[in-house]
Amino acid sequence: MTGIESTTANLALWRLQWETLFSLPHLLDESEMDDEEGCRLSEVEHFGDNPGNLRMFQYVPDNLPPQAPLVVVLHGCTQTAAGYDRSSGWSWLAQEHGFAVVFAQQRGENNPRRCFNWFRPSDIVRDGGEAASIRHMVTWLADRHDIDRQRIFVTGLSAGGAMANVMLSAYPDVFAAGAIIAGLPYRSAKSVHDALQVMMEGVSRSPEAWGAEVRAASPLGSLADSRIAAPWPRVAVWQGLADDVVRPSNAVEIVKQWTDVHGFGEQASEEEEAGGTKRMRWRNADGEVVIEAVAIEHLGHAVPIDAARLDLHEQPGPHFADIGLSSTLEIARFFGLVRVDPPPRDKEEGEKIDKKADQKGASRKSAAGKVGASGATVLTSALAALPSGLRSRRPRVRGRDAAPRPRPGTAPQPPSLPDESEVLPPPETMVKASAPGAERLPLVAAAVATQGEAQAVAAGVDVKGAPVHEQEMRAREIEDNDSGANGDGGVQDGGLFDRIMRMLGLSGKD
């Protein structure tokens, strides 16, 4: 067999493989996913209208002061509220600094991988679906614990980060600020088909087009053309540049979306780089940081934590990477919840950090309040200037091993079914689909790969050693008038991408 016939045969094998994996009982066990061990959260079963059919968990410190802040935390795919809290340390920080936390949790019947449905139009509109359920959780807790309505915040990872962006867009009158970790722009996808495309390849639009999506999402957008200053929420965007699940360019698009909403250009007020972490900030006329972008060189698809800091109570876990930087603490500081820098772990460790930063060539370029060509940085250029090899490194956050590279001139063996005890592929690549196991992004890339590359691609690694999504899809090398690409970053019906989706059992429609 050659060409498309060989590819189709391999796809059939892989599809059976994923269907078997997805049918394993422990993946469908609701009670096991609750992950109660060490849980500091309590569930609220009745919190008002719940059109999105979500679960609500809360942490309220015993000594919560009047008019305390509230943080809403949204997990990523396959994660739980309890597991996310245990690794991120949000409840411990709330206890220490006097604020409440709400965790929304997805149900398996809503999404087989427990992803928030950030791409489904009915779930991302104001007063509709999952967005409305999260809003009612906020109202329920705020009414019962005298929460300061001016200090309500939201954060999340991946699908949860995308849903955090939904909440900021649909309810800018509710949330004062938000932090999006490895998320997606608001209304970047309207179906499963679009979601796969955006996650794998990204989609580029003008800042004005992105901003218009946010302004159209709530009544606050109607003030844009008036003389009334709209109090849009402040936004922090965190992204690992070695992320092989959500393409890092999506972070650039999120920043473009919110800089347009706030009336900024793409040029940042200041840039700071140290130890492989680049920060860009946009300040208003009062010097307040309104938008912050944090790009981390070697971070994959994970929440950055600092497990060595015992006072933060952070623990490594699925999609949590211990890199010596606590995003929870940094985000809480961005929200204004932590105003005093805590002491370093110890003197020796502090010296190591300072030395490492010096060796990395730590630099700071500050031009607060002076946005100009001499002291400003364009985010897109800043990310593009980083070494291209960074995105080909796959940090072993979850200890996954790539399949062996096939030797030249030898036919690849069909991929074997992993043992049930092996670590499953990254769950964040999964979104709702009509057939189990049809959502794995590398499979889409594999559908247009040559037979000699099939085994490596099936493992999520290109034969050149880089993540699949960093290589141009082989479909672009096929001279086919039915390529399926359109001008706005989407995919037309009937194209090669659609045929692949159908092979995998997906219709391409939500």
Q: Please give the Cα distance from 45 to 54 (Å, whole number).
A: 10
Between strands 68-74 and 147-157, the pairing is parallel
Structure tokens at 113: 């991988």
Between strands 363-366 and 289-296, the pairing is unpaired
Give DSSP secondary structure letters for 7-72. HHHHHHHHHHHHHHHHT-HHHH-HHHHH--TT---EEES--S--TT--EEEEE--TTPPTTEEEEE
Give DSSP secondary structure letters for 142-196. HHHTTEEEEEEEEEEETHHHHHHHHHHHH-TTT-SEEEEES---TTS-SSHHHHH
Is residue 188 within 8 A of residue 163, CB to CB? The reply is no
Structure tokens at 489: 């970053």
Q: Please give the Cα distance from 27 to 78 (Å, whole number).
A: 9
Radius of gyration of the chain (CA): 22
Q: What is the DSSP letter of 452?
A: G
> Catalytic site residues?
158
**191 in the Ramachandran plot: left (φ > 0), alpha (ψ -120 to 50) or beta?**
beta
